[in-house]
Each structure stands twice: as structure tokens, then as C-alpha cells.
Amino acid sequence: MAIFTKQFANADDYEDWLKHASDRINVLTIANSPAVFGSAMRQPGAPVIVKYQTHDKSFVPPRGAAGKAAEYAIIGAAFFALFAYMIAEL
């Protein structure tokens, strides 16, 4: 299982996401967690940061441009190495 981090603007957004994802993720840590059930104290608008594991690809965050560029560079290097090997064999 891969480990991911997701940030929410407030506790309400986190709770909505958790209702939707609760049976498909395994929450590891919660930073700036919302108030404990039954408690009158709430965090004043602090972002909630969740670290979680999942097998479900719909909860995997999208990769940024740097991740895609690294993937393309690795594939390009592999093809170049194969090309150089084939040229050297001729």
C-alpha cells in the first residue's frame, strides 16, 4: 500500500471526504485534527492534514509536472541505452 498526504482547508471538508472514503482508506495520522466527538472545542479554521494508505486508485493524488518529467526521463534513458546497445552490436 502506498502512503499519501492530503490537506483540507477546514474540518468540515475533511469530514465530508472521510465519509466518502472511510471504507477504502487507512488513516495513519491527522495533524490539526477536528474536535473529538462530543467536545465543545473546535479548531479555529486550521487546515487538517491527513496521512493515509489506500489501494483504491481514485484516492491517489495526481502527480505533478516534476513526477511526470522524471518518468519521461527514465523511459527516454532506457530507450537511449537500448539504442546504444543495438548500435554497438552492429
52 and 11 part of one domain = yes
Question: Same domain, yes or no, for 46 and 30?
Answer: yes
Does residue 41 sit in the same domain as residue 55? yes
Domain containing residue 88: 62-90
Quote the number of domains for the chain: 2
Higher pLDDT, 35 or 78: 78
As a whole number of angstroms, the distance between CA 51 and CA 44 comes to 21
Residue-wise over 48-78: b if at least 16 C-beta within 10 A, else e?
A: bebebebeeeebeeeeeeeeeeeeeeeeeee
The single-letter DSSP state of residue 64 is -
Residue 10 to residue 43: CA distance in whole angstroms = 9
pLDDT of residue 22: 81
pLDDT in tens, 38-85: 555 655 567 889 999 988 888 887 777 888 898 999 999 999 999 999
